[in-house]
């Protein structure tokens, strides 16, 4: 496994919270072997760990929260084809060794080095199935827009992984709409729910829209660029201020001043501070379905190039 990356076995990539054990390449490799990975998968795992250790991702919060969240890995670039990752039909499901074992390796690392065991370190009230494995590739071949890693400043030929602290996917079922406005209205409605992990009081809230290829194609035929998709969702994924005060997290934390200044209970407030906080990818296969994945409010998506490929 160690021959799958450049670096020395005792090289430390960081410490994994909440137990804060050192994550050496050797220890990462041990967990990758236990997960059933092949050596060519290992550069993805190392890059994902490095991304999760970025302070912006707030791995401690993701690990220890009572929210049901897990790091979702989104892989882009040539390595997807090279190692045979699934970006198409059933992308969030079983049947593909790279997706399943890379995600499983990350979970073993978070448990064995991070000490995030249910009820001791991992305080998720109910947890979620994606705490077993949560790893996909973006369907770049069927996307009408630039892929996620290119949005984040990387070259299309550069392989990369993005980590996103998210819930399980929330299905968006729209077999009727024939326009971008129709599909995106349904996506926005799925985003805006009172009990979602996306809260209206944290300035760093984000949400991910994983559009199925058929939905993405319909949206693109309506002439919308990805920035237009984000702007549309931001304008429509809202709830009335009065409804927000009925439950969820109202009154527990300090809300932003601009929200506290809202006196009108009928005012519609966005689920995230700006359109740029809505991540959009294309994933999956045939069928008129998409998915919404809320984050855990205190974690931000981080993208890292996969650079440790062996010579």
231 and 94 assigned to the same domain: no
Would you state the pLDDT for residue 88?
Answer: 98
305 occurs within a structural domain: no
- pLDDT tier at 271, thresholds 50, 70, 90: confident
- pLDDT tier at 139, thresholds 50, 70, 90: very high
Would you state the pLDDT for residue 244?
Answer: 80
122 occurs within a structural domain: yes
37 and 118 assigned to the same domain: yes
61 occurs within a structural domain: yes
pLDDT digits (tens, 9 = 90+) for 84-107: 999 999 999 999 999 999 999 999
232 and 270 assigned to the same domain: yes
61 and 128 assigned to the same domain: yes
For range 164-185, the mean pLDDT: 97
Is 60 exceeded by the pLDDT of residue 131? yes
147 occurs within a structural domain: no
Would you state the pLDDT for residue 251?
Answer: 65
149 occurs within a structural domain: no
Is 90 exceeded by the pLDDT of residue 49? yes
Is 80 exceeded by the pLDDT of residue 22? yes
17 and 132 assigned to the same domain: yes
Domain end, chosen from 125, 150, 167, is at 167
> Which residues constitute the domain of residue 60?
1-140+159-167
Nearest-CA neighbor of 137 among 188, 182, 98? Answer: 98
310 occurs within a structural domain: no
For range 298-311, the mean pLDDT: 93
25 and 122 assigned to the same domain: yes
209 and 229 assigned to the same domain: yes
pLDDT digits (tens, 9 = 90+) for 151-161: 999 999 999 99
- pLDDT tier at 254, thresholds 50, 70, 90: low
In order, the DSSP letters of the chain are: -GGGSSS-TT-EEEEETTTTEEEEHHHHHHHHHHHT--GGGHHHHHHHHHHHTSTTT-HHHHHH-SS--EEEEEEESTHHHHHT---STTTTSSS-HHHHHHHHHHHHHHHHTT--EETBEE--SS--GGGT--EEE--GGG-SS--HHHHTT--TTS-EEEEEEE-PPEEEE-SS--SHHHHHHHHHHHH--TTSS--SS-TT--EEEEE-HHHHHHHHHTT--HHHHHHHHHHHSEEEHHHHTTSTTTTTSPPPHHHHT---TT-EEESSSSGGGEEEEE---SSSEEEEEEB-SS---EEEE------
- pLDDT tier at 199, thresholds 50, 70, 90: low
Is 80 exceeded by the pLDDT of residue 248? no
pLDDT digits (tens, 9 = 90+) for 202-229: 556 899 999 999 999 999 999 999 999 9
- pLDDT tier at 76, thresholds 50, 70, 90: very high
For range 184-194, the mean pLDDT: 94
Per-chain mean pLDDT for the chain: 93
5 occurs within a structural domain: yes
Would you state the pLDDT for residue 33?
Answer: 98
174 and 163 assigned to the same domain: no
Is 60 exceeded by the pLDDT of residue 280? yes
**Rounded-to-integer distance, Cα 82 and Cα 78, Å:** 6
Would you state the pLDDT for residue 186?
Answer: 98
Reported pTM: 0.95
Would you state the pLDDT for residue 276?
Answer: 95
For range 103-132, the mean pLDDT: 97
21 and 63 assigned to the same domain: yes
Would you state the pLDDT for residue 159?
Answer: 98
Structurally, how many domains does the chain consist of?
Answer: 2
126 and 178 assigned to the same domain: no
- pLDDT tier at 253, thresholds 50, 70, 90: low
Is 70 exceeded by the pLDDT of residue 108? yes
223 and 121 assigned to the same domain: no
187 occurs within a structural domain: yes
89 and 199 assigned to the same domain: no
Percentage of residues in the chain with pLDDT exceeding 70?
93
Is 70 exceeded by the pLDDT of residue 302? yes
**Rounded-to-integer distance, Cα 156 and Cα 293, Å:** 24
Is 80 exceeded by the pLDDT of residue 200? no
Would you state the pLDDT for residue 220?
Answer: 98
């Amino acid at each position: 496994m160690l021959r799958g990356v450049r670096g020395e076995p005792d090289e430390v990539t960081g410490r994994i919270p909440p137990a804060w054990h050192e994550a050496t390449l050797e220890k990462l490799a041990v967990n990758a072997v236990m997960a059933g990975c092949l050596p060519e998968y290992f550069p993805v795992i190392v890059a994902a760990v490095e991304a999760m250790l970025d302070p912006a991702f707030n791995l401690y919060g993701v690990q220890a929260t009572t929210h049901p969240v897990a790091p979702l890995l989104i892989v882009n670039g040539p390595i997807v084809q090279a190692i045979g990752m699934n970006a198409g039909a059933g992308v969030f499901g079983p049947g593909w060794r790279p997706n399943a074992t890379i995600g499983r390796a990350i979970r073993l690392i978070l448990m064995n080095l991070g000490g995030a065991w249910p009820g001791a370190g991992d305080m998720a009230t109910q947890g979620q199935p994606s705490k077993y494995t949560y790893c996909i590739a973006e369907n770049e071949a069927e996307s009408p827009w630039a892929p996620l890693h290119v949005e984040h400043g990387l070259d299309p030929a550069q392989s990369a992984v993005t980590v996103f602290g998210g819930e399980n996917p929330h299905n968006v079922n729209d077999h009727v709409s024939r326009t971008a406005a129709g599909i995106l209205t349904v996506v926005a409605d799925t985003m805006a729910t009172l009990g979602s992990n996306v809260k209206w009081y944290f300035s760093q809230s984000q949400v991910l829209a994983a559009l199925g290829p058929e939905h993405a194609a319909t949206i693109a035929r309506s002439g919308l660029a990805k920035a237009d998709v984000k702007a549309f969702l931001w304008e429509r994924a809202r709830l009335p201020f009065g409804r927000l005060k009925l439950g969820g997290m109202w009154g527990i934390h300090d809300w932003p001043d601009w929200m506290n200044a809202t006196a009108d209970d009928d005012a519609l407030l966005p689920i995230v501070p700006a359109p740029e906080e809505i991540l959009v990818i294309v994933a999956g296969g045939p069928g008129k379905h998409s998915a919404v994945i809320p984050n855990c409010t205190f974690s931000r998506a981080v993208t890292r190039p996969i650079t440790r490929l062996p010579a």
